[in-house]
Amino acid sequence: MSRIRLLGVVLWLCCWLVVTADAQVDEMKYKDPKQPVAVRVKDLLSRMTLEEKIGQMTQIDRSVANANVMKNSFIGSVLSGGGSEPLPKATAQDWVNMINEFQKGSLASRLGIPMMYGIDAVHGHNNVYNATIFPHNVGLGCTRDPDLARRIGAATALEIRATGIPYAFAPCIAVCRDPRWGRCYESYSEDPKIVREMTEIIPGLQGDIPPGARKGVPYVGGKTKVAACAKHFVGDGGTTKGLNENNAVVDWHTLMSLHMPAYIDSIIKGVSTVMASYSSWNGVKMHANRDLITGYLKNTLKFKGFVISDWQGIDKITTPPGSNYTYSVQASIEAGVDMVMVPYEFEDFIKDLTLLVKNNIIPMDRIDDAVERILVVKFTMGLFENPLADFSLVNELGSQAHRDLAREAVRKSLVLLKNGKNQSAQLLPLPKKARKILVAGTHADNLGYQCGGWTIKWQGFIGNGDTSGTTILSAINSTVDPSTEVVFRENPDAGFVKSNNFEYAIVVVGEPPYAETAGDSTALTILDPGPNIINNVCGAVKCVVVTVTGRPVVIEPYLSSIDALVAAWLPGSEGQGVADVLFGDYGFTGKLARTWFKSVDQLPMNVGDPHYDPLFPYGFGLTSESVRDLVTRSTSTAEFVRACIVTIMATLLTSLYLIG
């Protein structure tokens, strides 16, 4: 009997454990997608230890991440820094496999909170081999086309998701007020109005916010969209002399009227995250500016997403960077930074923040606020339901449809600054059929120069081997008539040009690739031997000069010898868009979104300044019709003239008949 009684007890215990386990699962509201996001966040937050919360606030580089680190340190996010990839020329499948390995580690942790992988995708999915590289923002601002920005956002989101990534550190909504700044090409314009309009890229990246959504609440519309990041909060484009990471010395009114408006638009459009700037405002580092991050961004603007630091951004609160790391952790978290892009020494960050909380220096409610914001974004984007990526979107990477869109963006971003030495001698559009033409210049056949910084590597690349695309030279070759002989010489001497009887020449020159501080420049000159190439070629034959730059550069000394001048900015991978307009398949429509100076001595100089005396003013841009439109108009005119002649003749004949 005792054995039977014992067996009954065991069976009862088993049943009780099953029922209890089921009840606990039922009570885990954070795992139930039918529950409102707020309920899920509250439930999950109540279950988390301090260690798990601080883990969620930590973002590390992929080079120090692995499944065990993710599981044991409860890491909330991983990123690829500029050029950080699974392996050289990694495929979309390589990216998906790497990211899923990290994610499996996160899902194996006690609460199974998925990590969020982030990457810089500032002009397309620019770190990834074979991705579509769109024009940098400096060119897109010249299109004055918010719908184009939106479509670029949607295409970029698809390519990012193709590699298993749900989070993009874009867009940059800086208002660059001085082209000497090395990040000026990441800015749409010197005019906040244009920057505000181009925040339409955010619903492209994230999807349209639902009707009636609360202001400031982040939104990501499913597996084909990504969380966006408005950066760099705030005033990064207004530093003294355009020095990167420096001090913006402006009053409150200027900060609000020039640098803040695009953030207001971004928040209204549901942007998920905001990145703090390396720069300072009136001497206060933005990563430590509680009045602006917590006081204005979170409390006044009602931003409900999370604030992320820039790469080692909190280290730079002190001078020299990292000299008092514990203070930097305290100052940034108290200011309102929610997630810290560490990116390497994450154990130190976790240790310091844990001690600051345990010693009651940083209150627990500040930690809870940060983690709540991070979880809101993760739940909103569906990361708990779909934590692992698959291969269903891999064909979106570098797709023809996206390359066609990039080509359209190139066409619309080109600005025609000069066309002929007088109105009666216009050079553009160029004839496709010619006996022999010259293509010259350092940037004519160099995809790396054409794409600029933040392409494959942080500082960009040089040459044609690091990714796929169409150089301007190859675009010219595919556009001209088969009978036209195209001669390419990167740096021809004047004698060569004179002796070859070219009908015309195309000279493509510009800046080398650069990013951030490496691009800061007080000279703003074209890369040597660019000026000599212009002089040698344009002194001997009719020429169009195409500048490939991240900003206006010194061009005034050469302008008189140039027949036609085109600003192509940094057009990206689709150089065919340049040829489309040079040869008249499409007309020029771009307008300068920033002032083109005569001399660097004038800088800073923006539209509306009392000393405004530009070479080409803000808003300038000659327009032209496509050859097709010109032919159509000419045909229409000819038909009209013929009709008039017929009418006149008929009238005369009728009159003569009646008189006779």
**CA pair distance 462, 442, nearest whole angstrom:** 11
Statement to judge: residues 351 and 457 lie in one domain: no
Total tally of structural domains belonging to the chain = 2
Show which of 381, 404, 437 is a domain's final residue: 381
- Residue 55 predicted with pLDDT over 80: yes
Q: What is the DSSP string of 450-478?
A: HH-SSBSBTT---SSSSS--B-HHHHHHH
Residue 638 in domain:
no
Q: Which of 159, 191, 310, 396 is catalytic?
A: 310
Residue 586 to residue 410: CA distance in whole angstroms: 11
- pLDDT score, position 25: 47
One domain for residues 114 and 253 = yes
Are residues 358 and 442 located together in one domain of the fold? no
In a domain, 287, yes or no: yes
Going 112 to 359 to 323 to 321, the CA torsion angle's sign is positive
Q: What is the mean pLDDT of the chain?
A: 94
Check whether residue 566 and residue 477 sit in a common domain.
yes
Distance CA(526)–CA(409), nearest Å, equals: 24
Of the residues 365, 381, 397, the one at which a domain ends? 381
What domain range is 541 assigned to? 414-625
Asked if 338 is an active-site residue, the reply is no
Note whether 366 and 419 are same-domain residues: no
- The identity of residue 149, as a single letter, is A
Other C-beta atoms within 10 Å of 63: how many? 12
Of the two residues 347 and 634, the one the predictor is more confident about is: 347
Q: What CATH code is carried by the domain that includes residue 568?
A: 3.40.50.1700
The answer to whether residues 212 and 305 belong to one domain is yes
In terms of phi and psi (left: phi > 0; alpha: psi -120 to 50; beta: otherwise), the region of 153 is alpha
* Residue 365 contacts residue 345 (beta carbons within 8 Å): no
CB atoms within 10 A of CB 56: 28
Q: Which residues contact 652 (CB under 8 A, 6 or more apart)?
A: none
pLDDT at 618 exceeding the cut of 80: yes
State both tokens at 301.
């603007």
In the chain, the percentage of residues whose pLDDT exceeds 70 is 91
Residue 621, number of CB atoms within 10 A of its CB: 18
CA dihedral 597, 460, 150, 116 (to 10 degrees): -140
Peptide bond into 146 cis (omega under 30): no
User: pLDDT value at position 544?
Assistant: 98
**Quick check: 538 and 438 in contact, CB under 8 A?**
no
Judge whether 390 lies within some domain.
Answer: no
DSSP label at 257? I
Three-point CA angle 543, 546, 552, nearest 5°: 130
Clarify whether residues 326 and 456 are in a common domain: no
Task: Specify if 407 maps to a domain.
Answer: no
Binning pLDDT at 50, 70 and 90, where does residue 659 land?
low
Domain assignment present for 29: no
- Specify if 12 maps to a domain: no
For residue 651, what pLDDT is reported? 52
- Specify whether the CB–CB gap between 151 and 145 falls below 8 A: no
CA–CA dist 154, 205 (Å, integer): 5
Let me know whether 367 and 497 are in one domain: no
pLDDT digits (tens, 9 = 90+) for 279-333: 999 999 999 999 999 999 999 999 999 999 999 999 999 999 999 999 999 999 9
pLDDT digits (tens, 9 = 90+) for 227-286: 999 999 999 999 999 999 999 999 999 999 999 999 999 999 999 999 999 999 999 999
- Domain assignment present for 17: no
Which of 245, 445, 516, 520 is catalytic? The answer is: 516
Q: What's the rounded mean pLDDT across residues 108-125?
A: 98
Same domain, 370 and 468: no
The reply to whether 615 and 466 lie within a common domain is yes
Entry pTM: 0.93
Spatial separation of the C-alpha atoms in residues 134 and 153, rounded to whole Å: 10
455 and 361 fall within a common domain: no
User: What is 144-159 written as a DSSP string?
Assistant: T-HHHHHHHHHHHHHH
Q: How far apart are CA 455 and CA 485, in angstroms?
A: 33
For residue 312, the domain's CATH number is 3.20.20.300
Region of residue 621 (phi > 0: left; psi between -120 and 50: alpha; otherwise: beta): left
Residue 178: which pLDDT band, with cuts at 50, 70 and 90?
A: very high
CA–CA distance, 651 with 278 (Å, rounded to integer):
79
- Whether the pLDDT of residue 125 is over 90: the answer is yes
Which of residues 639 and 377 earns the better pLDDT score? 377
> Would residue 574 show up in a list of annotated catalytic residues for this protein?
no
**94 belongs to a structural domain:** yes
292, amino acid identity:
L
Residues 141, 216: one domain?
yes
Across the range 62-79, mean pLDDT stands at: 98
